[in-house]
Structure 1
Amino acid sequence: MKKQRKITIADIAREAGVSAMTVSRYLNGKGPVAASTAERIKAIIERLQYNPNWLARSLSSKKSMIIGVTIPRIEHALLDNYIAQILSGVTDVALQNDYRIMLLPFNPEHGTDNEFSNWYHSKMFDGLILLKTMHRDPRIKSLAEQKIPFVLANHKYYAPDVHFIDVNNKLGIRLAVEYLVEKGRSRIAFVAGDLRETNARDRWNAFCKTMQEQNLTVNKEWVMHGQFNQEIAYRESEKLFRAKTIPDAVVCSDDYMALGVIRRIKERGLRIPDDVAVIGFDDIEIAAYIQPALTTVRQPIEKIGRLAAESLLKLLNGKADQPIRRLLSVQLIKRESA
């Protein structure tokens, strides 16, 4: 069988009636290409199923064509639906722009101030997306001071040369508490995430503020610290149901912790939502399929990853408005658990 010849930039240029340099400018996103010409080149690329030589492009552009993405060094991190959805959004944008991603496991609690910047200077990747970093992590400050291209995903940090994509966490918790009050609930407990993360801090602060606005008391005995961990939330939530008076609703900072709380409530022989209503945060895929289906605050997790990648590419191409700061909207999804 005759081996099929590999399609080249020259072939694309010949078909489009333009120079190879024009095709190269279109592929690299550098230099002017008329809109009509770009459409013609794109159609020919798709018809001929042209696949650019990734290594050659990286050598010619002096870029690695790789985006680094930090993920926490925890057990089963890639099985976490939240992390998987973020990575899905990042990967889609990366592949559409002929980039690849490199996963960079790190310890969110420990590391030298220059850990991330040293990775960058090793030329392994062109820029960074930081996922699951802690509040005021000095490694973030080091990146900003050295003007290294990076974007925080689901983390809010107002400082020069720091770019982030986050959601309106405070609105999400306010919607959850107000909904429970409308349903006649007044003894509302809270399961906090890791308060070293900005989204956990925002959700906790919003809970306290909204409870005050609703003339409700935040009972310290009904505040659990689940650390964004299902097993910890399950273990800690036992304390919620020991006393003679128990909460009639629980708001959780993420869905995994809500799953742990639901498991504990069922073991206590209580009914959901009749005895205790439960609301989560995220709307991970399994939330709609557990029994009872979980009422939760939906944040656009995959979109966070997608926008983080798009923002990083703008930084890499010098096309970003400084600074990039996006707060995406959230939505209360009403299901059976509340």
Structure 2
Amino acid sequence: MNKTISDIAQMAGVAKSTVSRYLNGGSVSAKTKQKLERITRESGYVPNTFAQSLKAKRTNLIGTIVPRLDSFAAAQTMTGIDEELRTSGGRMLVYNAGQDRQREIEAMIDLARQKVAGIILMATEVTEQHLRTAEAVGIPVLLVGQGHRELHSLVYDDHRAGLLMGRHVLEMGHRRIAYLGVTEEDEAVGLHRKEGFRQAAAEYPNCEVRYFESSFKISDARLAAEQILDHYSPTLIVCATDNIALGVVKTAHIRGLSIPSDLSVTGFGGYEVTEIIHPALTTVRFPYFEAGRLAAQSILKLTAGQEVEHSRVLDVEFHSQESVDNLNKPSV
């Protein structure tokens, strides 16, 4: 039996009006807010806005779990999801997992308790715990950015992205290269992009590529770039994301290195900021907004019991800019 506001008020030792204010985003003390958050979560309380939708066979609410809110990729994907849901009469509930695997699991359970019709999950890694939880919640779960044979997914062609980037920089004459990636636990960004680049490097003779690792944070990328430049002298640093590339560019500027004449830098993603910085960053653009729209369309079909392609691969677009020096050009 679902708890009522009166039940929650009694359990918390507060007035019904206090619980109502909390549920409607009104002003309550920090201590009371923490207590009510804990009690509503532990009791599985379903607010009226959700309870009303339970009377129908399914709700129009779609839960979206994002790795972090300050990500360009996540923001563009969420915008695509939101616009498509609005057109289709749906609504989106966003849960920020803060790049924490356990919080992703908790979010799936929490959203299911709130009776969402389906979940769009932008996970950085798909573990057995993710799969068990997806099965346990009993509602459609769609992956975006990562793929797994047991779940429906929308993925980018990360291998081709790495291949395109590798062939471009090698054609520009670079043979002493540092590749700054992320953990291979992230199969899309950490593994497939690198494998694509490695395939391109194998096509060219006398090519030395050293592989390094960072997190997605600009600050960590700056530190990684310092280590690379201290112990290696590449003509080019290929970065697994545009954010990582921004960290490398910052380190280069601090050291007085000119881009691209002293050091070439590339990224992946196609973030808007890559057009603003000077020189503009050579990158591979990913269709994040379109992925969001397609994800919303797919999850709505799944919640309606319709067939959806199990795994869909979205193409990417190479974008040549000014941050890669052409070492083949004749010397003056």
1:142 Cα deviation after fit: 3.1
CA distance in 2, matches of 1:112, 1:236: 27
Aligned counterpart in structure 2 of residue 69 of structure 1, from 64, 83, 88: 64
CA distance in 1, matches of 2:163, 2:214: 20
Aligned counterpart in structure 2 of residue 264 of structure 1, from 232, 251, 259: 251
Q: CA offsets, 1:286-320, max 9 Å, x none?
A: 11111111110001011111111111011011122
Residues 95 and 209 of structure 1: is their aligned pair in 2 closer, same or farther, counting only changes over 3 Å? same
Residue 302 in structure 1 maps to residue 318 in structure 2:
no
Aligned counterpart in structure 2 of residue 236 of structure 1, from 224, 231, 242: 224
SS of residue matched to 1:185: coil
Instruction: Structure 1: give runs of 5+ residues left out of the alignment.
Output: 1-53
Q: CA offsets, 1:30-63, max 9 Å, x none?
A: xxxxxxxxxxxxxxxxxxxxxxxx9899466333
Give the CA RMSD over aligned residues: 2.5
What's the counterpart of residue 304 of structure 2?
317
Q: Which amino acid aligns with 2:250?
A: R
Residues 114 and 183 of structure 1: is their aligned pair in 2 closer, same or farther, counting only changes over 3 Å? closer
Q: How does 1:245-256 map to 2 (within 5 A)?
A: 246-256=233-243
1:127 Cα deviation after fit: 0.5
TM-score (norm 2): 0.76
Aligned counterpart in structure 2 of residue 213 of structure 1, from 200, 203, 206: 203
What's the counterpart of residue 78 of structure 1?
69
Residues 165 and 301 of structure 1: is their aligned pair in 2 closer, same or farther, counting only changes over 3 Å? same
What's the counterpart of residue 203 of structure 1?
193
Aligned counterpart in structure 1 of residue 120 of structure 2, from 129, 140, 153: 129
Q: Which amino acid aligns with 2:224?
A: E
1:145 Cα deviation after fit: 6.6
Q: CA offsets, 1:88-145, max 9 Å, x none?
A: 0110111111111111233654429964553354143110000133143522343147
What's the counterpart of residue 95 of structure 1?
86
The alignment of Structure 1 onto Structure 2 pairs a total of residues equal to 275
1:209 Cα deviation after fit: 2.6
1:240 Cα deviation after fit: 1.7
CA distance in 2, matches of 1:127, 1:319: 13
What's the counterpart of residue 178 of structure 1?
167
CA distance in 1, matches of 2:225, 2:271: 21
Q: How does 1:110-129 map to 2 (within 5 A)?
A: 110-111=101-102, 115=106, 118-129=109-120
Q: CA offsets, 1:246-292, max 9 Å, x none?
A: 11111111101001111111222222112221111010111111111
Is contact 1:127–1:149 with CA below 8 Å preserved after alignment?
yes
1:217 Cα deviation after fit: 4.7
Percent identity reads 27
Q: Which amino acid aligns with 1:155?
A: Q
Residues 137 and 103 of structure 1: is their aligned pair in 2 closer, same or farther, counting only changes over 3 Å? farther
SS of residue matched to 1:78: coil
Is contact 1:163–1:324 with CA below 8 Å preserved after alignment?
yes
CA distance in 1, matches of 2:104, 2:272: 36
Is contact 1:113–1:138 with CA below 8 Å preserved after alignment?
no
Aligned counterpart in structure 2 of residue 293 of structure 1, from 280, 300, 308: 280
Moved more, 101-110 or 283-292: 101-110
Instruction: Structure 2: give runs of 5+ residues left out of the alignment.
Output: 1-48, 325-332
CA distance in 2, matches of 1:167, 1:131: 12
What's the counterpart of residue 96 of structure 2?
105
1:208 Cα deviation after fit: 2.3
CA distance in 2, matches of 1:129, 1:268: 42
Residues 301 and 113 of structure 1: is their aligned pair in 2 closer, same or farther, counting only changes over 3 Å? closer
Residues 216 and 282 of structure 1: is their aligned pair in 2 closer, same or farther, counting only changes over 3 Å? farther
Residue 227 in structure 1 maps to residue 215 in structure 2:
yes
Moved more, 145-154 or 103-112: 103-112
Q: CA offsets, 1:180-224, max 9 Å, x none?
A: 11111111111102422121221122222322232355544xx22
1:79 Cα deviation after fit: 2.9
